[in-house]
Copies of this chain bind each other. A is one copy, B any other.
Amino acid sequence: MKTYIGIDLGGTNVAAGLVSEKGELLGVHSQPTPRGAEEVADAIAQAARAACAAAGVGAEEPRSVGVASPGSIDPARGVVEHAFNLGLDHVPLMGMVSERLGLPALLENDANAAALGEFVSGAGKGYDSLVAVTLGTGVGSGAVLGGKLFTGFNYAGMEAGHMVIRRGGRPCTCGRRGCWETYASATGLIKSTREAMEAHPDSALWRFAPTLEQVNGKTVFDAAAVFDPPARQVIESYLDDLACGVANLVNILQPQVLCIGGGISRQGEKLLAPIRAYLDKEEFTRDGERRTKICVAQLGNDAGIIGAALVPLYR
Protein backbone atom coordinates (compact mmCIF):
# COMPACT_ATOMS: atom_id res chain seq x y z
CA MET A 1 0.00 0.00 0.00
CA LYS A 2 1.30 3.42 -0.95
CA THR A 3 1.18 5.96 1.88
CA TYR A 4 1.64 9.72 2.14
CA ILE A 5 2.15 12.09 5.05
CA GLY A 6 -0.21 15.06 5.33
CA ILE A 7 0.35 18.05 7.60
CA ASP A 8 -2.25 20.63 8.56
CA LEU A 9 -0.15 23.58 9.68
CA GLY A 10 -2.43 25.68 11.87
CA GLY A 11 -1.88 28.65 14.12
CA THR A 12 -2.45 26.49 17.20
CA ASN A 13 -1.42 22.96 16.22
CA VAL A 14 0.67 21.06 13.73
CA ALA A 15 -1.58 18.10 12.90
CA ALA A 16 0.03 15.23 11.02
CA GLY A 17 -1.46 12.09 9.53
CA LEU A 18 -0.29 9.06 7.60
CA VAL A 19 -2.76 8.60 4.74
CA SER A 20 -3.31 5.73 2.31
CA GLU A 21 -3.66 6.42 -1.40
CA LYS A 22 -7.40 5.82 -0.97
CA GLY A 23 -7.60 8.61 1.60
CA GLU A 24 -7.77 6.53 4.79
CA LEU A 25 -6.18 8.06 7.87
CA LEU A 26 -3.83 5.38 9.25
CA GLY A 27 -2.19 7.27 12.12
CA VAL A 28 -2.30 10.78 13.51
CA HIS A 29 -0.34 13.05 15.79
CA SER A 30 -0.82 16.64 16.85
CA GLN A 31 1.47 19.03 18.71
CA PRO A 32 1.54 22.76 19.41
CA THR A 33 2.78 25.07 16.65
CA PRO A 34 5.97 26.87 17.63
CA ARG A 35 6.96 30.26 16.18
CA GLY A 36 9.88 30.73 13.79
CA ALA A 37 10.98 28.97 10.60
CA GLU A 38 13.42 26.35 11.95
CA GLU A 39 11.10 25.59 14.83
CA VAL A 40 8.09 25.06 12.52
CA ALA A 41 10.11 22.78 10.23
CA ASP A 42 11.28 20.77 13.25
CA ALA A 43 7.74 20.44 14.56
CA ILE A 44 6.46 19.27 11.17
CA ALA A 45 9.18 16.59 11.00
CA GLN A 46 8.50 15.45 14.58
CA ALA A 47 4.76 15.28 14.03
CA ALA A 48 5.23 13.39 10.77
CA ARG A 49 7.44 10.77 12.43
CA ALA A 50 5.00 10.44 15.31
CA ALA A 51 2.05 9.91 12.92
CA CYS A 52 4.01 7.16 11.14
CA ALA A 53 4.83 5.57 14.47
CA ALA A 54 1.16 5.71 15.47
CA ALA A 55 0.39 3.77 12.27
CA GLY A 56 3.22 1.32 12.93
CA VAL A 57 5.06 2.39 9.79
CA GLY A 58 8.67 3.53 9.36
CA ALA A 59 9.11 7.22 8.60
CA GLU A 60 11.04 6.34 5.42
CA GLU A 61 8.13 4.42 3.91
CA PRO A 62 5.73 7.18 2.79
CA ARG A 63 6.18 8.55 -0.73
CA SER A 64 6.03 12.25 0.18
CA VAL A 65 4.95 14.81 2.72
CA GLY A 66 2.36 17.44 1.87
CA VAL A 67 1.85 20.56 3.96
CA ALA A 68 -1.37 22.59 4.04
CA SER A 69 -0.45 26.14 5.03
CA PRO A 70 -2.37 29.28 5.83
CA GLY A 71 -1.25 32.67 4.53
CA SER A 72 0.28 33.50 1.20
CA ILE A 73 2.28 30.66 -0.35
CA ASP A 74 4.15 29.76 -3.53
CA PRO A 75 3.53 26.04 -4.10
CA ALA A 76 5.74 25.93 -7.20
CA ARG A 77 8.81 26.86 -5.15
CA GLY A 78 7.62 25.43 -1.82
CA VAL A 79 7.88 28.81 -0.14
CA VAL A 80 5.63 30.27 2.57
CA GLU A 81 5.68 33.94 1.62
CA HIS A 82 3.66 35.40 4.49
CA ALA A 83 2.07 33.59 7.41
CA PHE A 84 2.53 36.24 10.02
CA ASN A 85 0.79 34.52 12.90
CA LEU A 86 3.27 31.65 12.49
CA GLY A 87 6.22 34.05 12.27
CA LEU A 88 6.99 32.92 8.70
CA ASP A 89 8.16 35.42 6.09
CA HIS A 90 9.57 34.14 2.77
CA VAL A 91 10.55 30.77 4.22
CA PRO A 92 11.53 27.91 1.84
CA LEU A 93 9.71 25.57 4.18
CA MET A 94 9.42 22.59 1.79
CA GLY A 95 13.19 22.43 1.32
CA MET A 96 13.61 22.45 5.09
CA VAL A 97 10.98 19.76 5.64
CA SER A 98 12.31 17.61 2.80
CA GLU A 99 15.81 17.72 4.26
CA ARG A 100 14.59 16.70 7.70
CA LEU A 101 12.45 13.78 6.50
CA GLY A 102 14.34 12.66 3.40
CA LEU A 103 11.10 12.82 1.40
CA PRO A 104 9.76 15.03 -1.39
CA ALA A 105 7.73 17.84 0.21
CA LEU A 106 4.79 19.64 -1.40
CA LEU A 107 3.07 22.81 -0.28
CA GLU A 108 -0.61 23.64 -0.76
CA ASN A 109 -3.07 26.31 0.36
CA ASP A 110 -5.04 25.10 3.39
CA ALA A 111 -8.47 25.68 1.81
CA ASN A 112 -7.44 23.80 -1.32
CA ALA A 113 -6.12 20.89 0.74
CA ALA A 114 -9.37 20.75 2.72
CA ALA A 115 -11.36 20.65 -0.54
CA LEU A 116 -9.22 17.77 -1.81
CA GLY A 117 -9.65 15.86 1.47
CA GLU A 118 -13.44 16.23 1.29
CA PHE A 119 -13.35 15.16 -2.36
CA VAL A 120 -11.39 11.97 -1.71
CA SER A 121 -12.79 10.83 1.65
CA GLY A 122 -15.68 13.09 2.64
CA ALA A 123 -18.60 14.94 1.08
CA GLY A 124 -17.28 14.48 -2.46
CA LYS A 125 -16.43 10.78 -2.26
CA GLY A 126 -17.53 9.06 -5.44
CA TYR A 127 -18.26 12.30 -7.28
CA ASP A 128 -16.44 13.98 -10.14
CA SER A 129 -16.19 17.55 -8.88
CA LEU A 130 -16.60 19.44 -5.62
CA VAL A 131 -16.44 22.96 -4.27
CA ALA A 132 -15.71 23.25 -0.54
CA VAL A 133 -16.59 26.43 1.31
CA THR A 134 -15.42 26.96 4.90
CA LEU A 135 -17.12 29.56 7.08
CA GLY A 136 -14.56 30.76 9.60
CA THR A 137 -12.66 33.97 10.24
CA GLY A 138 -13.01 34.43 6.49
CA VAL A 139 -14.68 32.31 3.83
CA GLY A 140 -12.20 29.75 2.57
CA SER A 141 -12.83 27.94 -0.68
CA GLY A 142 -11.30 25.26 -2.82
CA ALA A 143 -12.36 23.09 -5.72
CA VAL A 144 -11.69 19.77 -7.36
CA LEU A 145 -12.79 19.91 -11.00
CA GLY A 146 -12.68 16.99 -13.41
CA GLY A 147 -10.94 14.92 -10.75
CA LYS A 148 -8.04 17.39 -10.36
CA LEU A 149 -7.30 19.88 -7.60
CA PHE A 150 -8.05 23.30 -9.06
CA THR A 151 -5.53 26.01 -8.21
CA GLY A 152 -5.43 28.44 -11.15
CA PHE A 153 -2.34 28.86 -13.30
CA ASN A 154 -0.47 30.64 -10.50
CA TYR A 155 -1.71 28.41 -7.63
CA ALA A 156 -3.66 31.43 -6.28
CA GLY A 157 -7.17 30.09 -7.00
CA MET A 158 -9.67 30.03 -5.61
CA GLU A 159 -10.49 32.96 -3.38
CA ALA A 160 -14.27 32.91 -3.68
CA GLY A 161 -14.54 34.70 -0.33
CA HIS A 162 -13.23 37.76 -2.16
CA MET A 163 -16.04 37.79 -4.70
CA VAL A 164 -18.00 41.02 -4.30
CA ILE A 165 -21.72 40.39 -3.85
CA ARG A 166 -22.65 43.85 -2.57
CA ARG A 167 -20.82 46.60 -4.45
CA GLY A 168 -19.75 49.32 -2.03
CA GLY A 169 -20.66 47.21 1.02
CA ARG A 170 -18.62 46.26 4.08
CA PRO A 171 -14.88 46.90 3.86
CA CYS A 172 -12.86 43.69 3.49
CA THR A 173 -9.35 42.87 4.68
CA CYS A 174 -8.40 42.40 1.00
CA GLY A 175 -9.03 46.05 0.17
CA ARG A 176 -12.34 45.58 -1.67
CA ARG A 177 -15.80 46.41 -0.35
CA GLY A 178 -18.77 44.04 -0.20
CA CYS A 179 -16.81 40.78 -0.47
CA TRP A 180 -18.81 37.63 0.22
CA GLU A 181 -16.71 36.84 3.29
CA THR A 182 -17.52 40.16 4.99
CA TYR A 183 -21.11 38.85 5.25
CA ALA A 184 -20.93 35.05 5.10
CA SER A 185 -17.98 34.32 7.40
CA ALA A 186 -18.36 33.67 11.14
CA THR A 187 -16.73 37.08 11.58
CA GLY A 188 -19.42 38.65 9.39
CA LEU A 189 -22.19 36.92 11.32
CA ILE A 190 -20.74 38.07 14.64
CA LYS A 191 -20.51 41.64 13.33
CA SER A 192 -24.17 41.53 12.25
CA THR A 193 -25.17 40.03 15.62
CA ARG A 194 -23.42 42.85 17.49
CA GLU A 195 -25.05 45.49 15.27
CA ALA A 196 -28.46 43.97 16.06
CA MET A 197 -27.71 43.96 19.80
CA GLU A 198 -26.72 47.63 19.76
CA ALA A 199 -29.88 48.49 17.83
CA HIS A 200 -32.13 46.36 20.08
CA PRO A 201 -31.23 46.70 23.78
CA ASP A 202 -34.23 44.51 24.68
CA SER A 203 -33.27 41.64 22.37
CA ALA A 204 -32.88 38.12 23.79
CA LEU A 205 -29.44 38.16 22.16
CA TRP A 206 -28.19 39.87 25.36
CA ARG A 207 -29.20 36.80 27.36
CA PHE A 208 -26.92 34.55 25.32
CA ALA A 209 -24.08 37.09 25.16
CA PRO A 210 -24.16 39.49 28.11
CA THR A 211 -21.45 41.63 26.46
CA LEU A 212 -20.61 42.28 22.83
CA GLU A 213 -17.23 40.59 23.35
CA GLN A 214 -19.00 37.33 24.23
CA VAL A 215 -20.82 37.06 20.91
CA ASN A 216 -19.81 34.06 18.81
CA GLY A 217 -21.17 32.34 15.70
CA LYS A 218 -23.72 30.38 17.74
CA THR A 219 -25.22 33.29 19.74
CA VAL A 220 -27.69 34.36 17.10
CA PHE A 221 -28.92 30.81 16.47
CA ASP A 222 -29.52 30.34 20.22
CA ALA A 223 -31.54 33.57 20.40
CA ALA A 224 -33.49 32.71 17.25
CA ALA A 225 -34.47 29.40 18.86
CA VAL A 226 -36.38 31.39 21.50
CA PHE A 227 -38.03 33.41 18.71
CA ASP A 228 -36.14 36.66 19.22
CA PRO A 229 -37.13 38.87 16.25
CA PRO A 230 -33.78 40.73 15.89
CA ALA A 231 -31.92 37.40 15.94
CA ARG A 232 -34.21 35.98 13.29
CA GLN A 233 -33.63 39.04 11.10
CA VAL A 234 -29.87 38.66 11.42
CA ILE A 235 -30.09 34.99 10.43
CA GLU A 236 -32.41 35.70 7.51
CA SER A 237 -30.06 38.33 6.12
CA TYR A 238 -27.03 36.13 6.81
CA LEU A 239 -28.54 33.18 4.98
CA ASP A 240 -29.49 35.37 2.02
CA ASP A 241 -25.91 36.58 1.68
CA LEU A 242 -24.48 33.10 2.17
CA ALA A 243 -26.87 31.62 -0.39
CA CYS A 244 -26.21 34.46 -2.84
CA GLY A 245 -22.54 33.54 -2.98
CA VAL A 246 -23.34 29.82 -3.17
CA ALA A 247 -25.66 30.50 -6.13
CA ASN A 248 -22.94 32.56 -7.81
CA LEU A 249 -20.48 29.69 -7.43
CA VAL A 250 -22.97 27.11 -8.70
CA ASN A 251 -23.80 29.29 -11.73
CA ILE A 252 -20.11 29.68 -12.53
CA LEU A 253 -18.66 26.28 -11.66
CA GLN A 254 -21.56 23.80 -11.68
CA PRO A 255 -19.81 21.35 -9.35
CA GLN A 256 -21.47 18.02 -8.65
CA VAL A 257 -21.21 18.72 -4.90
CA LEU A 258 -20.81 21.93 -2.90
CA CYS A 259 -20.05 21.31 0.77
CA ILE A 260 -20.03 23.83 3.58
CA GLY A 261 -17.72 23.49 6.58
CA GLY A 262 -16.57 25.48 9.59
CA GLY A 263 -18.21 26.00 12.96
CA ILE A 264 -21.44 27.48 11.59
CA SER A 265 -22.00 24.37 9.47
CA ARG A 266 -22.87 22.52 12.70
CA GLN A 267 -26.28 24.17 12.32
CA GLY A 268 -26.88 21.53 9.63
CA GLU A 269 -30.32 21.70 8.03
CA LYS A 270 -30.99 25.08 9.63
CA LEU A 271 -28.34 26.30 7.24
CA LEU A 272 -28.81 23.96 4.29
CA ALA A 273 -32.60 24.07 3.91
CA PRO A 274 -32.75 27.85 3.34
CA ILE A 275 -29.80 27.68 0.93
CA ARG A 276 -31.54 24.97 -1.08
CA ALA A 277 -34.76 27.02 -1.12
CA TYR A 278 -32.82 30.03 -2.37
CA LEU A 279 -31.19 27.94 -5.12
CA ASP A 280 -34.59 26.59 -6.16
CA LYS A 281 -35.50 30.20 -6.92
CA GLU A 282 -32.22 31.65 -8.17
CA GLU A 283 -29.95 28.95 -9.59
CA PHE A 284 -29.58 29.28 -13.36
CA THR A 285 -30.18 25.56 -13.88
CA ARG A 286 -32.98 25.24 -11.31
CA ASP A 287 -35.21 23.49 -13.86
CA GLY A 288 -32.49 21.08 -14.99
CA GLU A 289 -32.27 17.42 -14.11
CA ARG A 290 -28.67 17.48 -12.89
CA ARG A 291 -28.13 19.96 -10.13
CA THR A 292 -25.38 20.56 -7.59
CA LYS A 293 -25.80 18.67 -4.32
CA ILE A 294 -25.55 21.02 -1.32
CA CYS A 295 -24.31 19.40 1.90
CA VAL A 296 -22.21 19.81 5.01
CA ALA A 297 -18.49 18.99 5.00
CA GLN A 298 -17.82 15.66 6.71
CA LEU A 299 -14.21 15.54 7.80
CA GLY A 300 -13.65 18.62 9.94
CA ASN A 301 -9.96 19.18 10.59
CA ASP A 302 -9.00 15.83 9.04
CA ALA A 303 -9.85 17.20 5.58
CA GLY A 304 -6.69 19.33 5.50
CA ILE A 305 -4.46 16.43 6.59
CA ILE A 306 -5.88 14.00 4.03
CA GLY A 307 -5.90 16.57 1.24
CA ALA A 308 -2.35 17.73 1.96
CA ALA A 309 -1.14 14.13 1.89
CA LEU A 310 -2.74 13.36 -1.48
CA VAL A 311 -1.79 16.55 -3.34
CA PRO A 312 0.78 14.67 -5.48
CA LEU A 313 -1.97 12.35 -6.77
CA TYR A 314 -4.47 15.08 -7.69
CA ARG A 315 -2.45 18.09 -8.80
Q: Using CB atoms and an 8 Å cutoff, list the residues of chain A in contact with chain B.
A: 127-129, 141, 145-146, 148, 150-160, 162-167, 174-176, 240-241, 244, 247-249, 251-256, 281-282, 284-285, 288, 290-291
> B175–A288 contact, CB under 8 A?
no
Other than the given A141-B252, A252-B253, 4 more pairs (CB < 8 A) read A151-B254, A152-B254, A160-B252, A166-B166
Cα distance A128–B148 in the bound complex, in angstroms:
15
- Residues of chain B lying within 8 A (CB to CB) of residue A158: 251-254
From the candidates B145, B152, B155, B248, name the one contacting A150 in the complex (CB within 8 A). B145
With beta carbons under 8 angstroms apart, the residue of B159, B282, B288 that contacts A251 is B159
Number of copies of this chain that the complex holds: 2
Please state if A156 and B285 are interface contacts (CB–CB under 8 Å): yes
Given A154-B288, A157-B253, A158-B254, the answer on whether A166 and B167 have CB atoms closer than 8 Å is: yes
* Chain A binding surface, main DSSP class: loop
Q: A165-B165, A176-B282, A248-B163 are in contact. Are A254 and B290 (CB under 8 A)?
A: no
Closest B-chain residue to A146, C-beta based?
B148
Collect the chain B residues with CB atoms within 8 Å of residue A164's CB: 165, 244, 247-248
Centre residue among A157, A247, A249, A284 by max chain B CB count within 10 A: A284
Cα separation A175 to B146 with both chains bound (whole Å): 29
Contact across chains for A167 and B284 when beta carbons are under 8 A apart: no
Tell me the nearest residue of chain B to A141, going by C-beta. Answer: B252
Chain B residue contacts of A145, Cβ below 8 A: 145, 150
List of B residues within 8 angstroms of A240 by Cβ: 167
